[in-house]
Chain A
Amino acid sequence: MGESVKHLVNVFSSPTISFLTLFAIFFFIFPPTEWFAAINRRLGIYKLWTGKGGVFIFTVMITGHCLSLTDPNYRAIVLKPDNVPIVLLLFSTVFFLWLSMKQAYANDARLAQGLKPNEYEVPEKRKVLVWPDLVYTELIVMVLCMVGLLVWSIVLQAPLEEPADPSLTPNPSKAPWYFLALQEMLVYFDPWLAGVAFPTVIIVGLMAIPYIDTDRSTSGYFSFQNRKLFISLFLFGWLVLWVYMVIVGTFFRGPGWNFFGPFERWDPHKVAALNNVNLSEIIYVIALKQTLPDNVLVREIWGILLTSFYFMGIPPLLAKFRLKGFFERMGSMKYSWFMFLSLMALSLPIKMILRWSINLKYMIATPWFNI
């Protein structure tokens, strides 16, 4: 019984299955549009963001974690000192996600009844003195934090591996955990994209958020209903493309950067066939049964067309038909930025799916750059 459950979890957590499942259900949990929100209401998913929902989430997480600790392979990876922060990150992220969504839904209910949000105070009564109210809270939180940090430092020794040796790369060899999402992207994109272009887009994109989403009426309190599109997309980027990738990179990537389930032993001899082909080969060699053209431009024209259509064709088409109202409300400048950032974020899952389904290596492969 236990073994078969473990096997099932191993299979399920492989990136192909778990990522696609997450991708499929994510927008029902955090609905970006009214269509998704209606299904969310019908299925009652919003009940996760209540006291009972929280108890449910944490019971499942903690029991699952404790039961899994009986497995030696799970224990080996989760209790590794350098991985402790990720366990902390996982639990705290889920907790704060629940806390913010609970308050957001409570405020949404108040707004629906025509009340002000919970954070609102009547102007005459709203102020309290910083000394002592805030200063004491800060002091208590600081002391608790320091105690926690000290206990952590006494219990767990900071890891130190073998001395540096340039001729021997450890297997697996990982970046610091907070960059593991980037390292995961490196599997699917060339270094100049995953290591340079994507981080730049992430930083610029984060900075651009307040210049795109300028609606002041939802400022300063937890809410969801009136800004669901932005929250949903932000959470997709933050939870799925960053935190999930960090967890996959930390716990599920073993020797040879192969995938290993949480209860699987890290076998350095595991072989995974990875014969990747470029789009040009798929089109000319496999579909058209020809040889590859010698001219690079002719060879790569399909990839170039598809990529340009993705970034330059999709936004105007959506503006014309599906997102007409949104486009008119936002204006062309904000709309273009919004679409560019969303399409960049979506390009990662798209490339991942293409890699798994048709072993795609590059959309465009030239001697100068690859995409």
Chain B
Amino acid sequence: MVDNTSNTDAPLSRRGFLSWMTVAWVFFAAAMGGFLTMCGRFLFPNVLFEPPSSFKAGFPDQYSPGAVSVDWKGKHRVWIVRTDDRIYAILARCTHLGCTPNWLPNESKFKCPCHGSGFRMSGINFEGPAPRPLERVRIGLAEDGQLLIDKSVTFRQEKGDWENPDSYLMT
């Protein structure tokens, strides 16, 4: 009797068994892969709670030509540089590994304390390991005539961004 009942079903052939195993393994691998992807994705939050990226930086007249202002470095990590004909804002973040360089007025350069990169007043790198110039950020005029700096928009010299009219202010 027992033999009869088991013989009524077609025996699972070797090939059939293997193909079922393959399907099972593929599903298992897909499930595991999906789960691990979700775990990995969990490490990347969707929303950030960061301080606002733009600020007002006073009136253009308070910056003297040919000088680098370090007034906003402490609070906003930005230098404001005025040359003879334009004003621009440089992000105080070394392009090597993200340290905050210092402005050395006597040597007229930005010098990074971490690995010794040096940048000219324009932000162009000339010594040390930094691979590219410092980044500039968007600068414009607010309605009250003050400078308006927006750090969320950056301009890179090697991409030709410094010619972008948002990256400087004519005086």
Contacts and interface: CB of A to CB of B under 8 A. Distances in A.
Contacts, number: 63
B74 A168 contact: yes
Interface string A165-207: 0111111110000000001001110110000000000000000
Contacts of B121: none
B99 interface: yes
A170 B113 contact: yes
B118 interface: yes
B128 A274 contact: yes
Interface of B: 73-77, 92, 96-97, 99-102, 106-107, 111-116, 118, 126-129, 131, 158
The prevalent SS among residues of B at the interface is: loop
A313 to B, nearest CB: 28
A257 B116 contact: yes
A255 interface: yes
A181 to B, nearest CB: 14
Contacts of A271: 107
B102 A167 contact: no
B127 A257 contact: no
B127 to A, nearest CB: 4
B131 A169 contact: no
A111 B73 CA distance: 68
25 contacts: A166-B77, A167-B74, A168-B74, A169-B99, A169-B100, A169-B102, A169-B114, A172-B113, A172-B114, A173-B99, A173-B113, A173-B114, A186-B97, A190-B131, A255-B113, A256-B111, A257-B114, A257-B115, A257-B116, A257-B128, A258-B116, A271-B107, A274-B116, A275-B126, A276-B128
Given A167-B92, A257-B114, A187 B100 contact: no
A18 interface: no
Contacts of A172: 113-114
Nearest to A361: B129
Given A173-B99, A275-B127, A276-B127, A256 B73 contact: no
A167 B100 contact: yes
Contacts of B77: 166-167
Nearest to A271: B107
A255 B76 CA distance: 24
Nearest to B109: A271
A166 to B, nearest CB: 7
Contacts of A273: 127
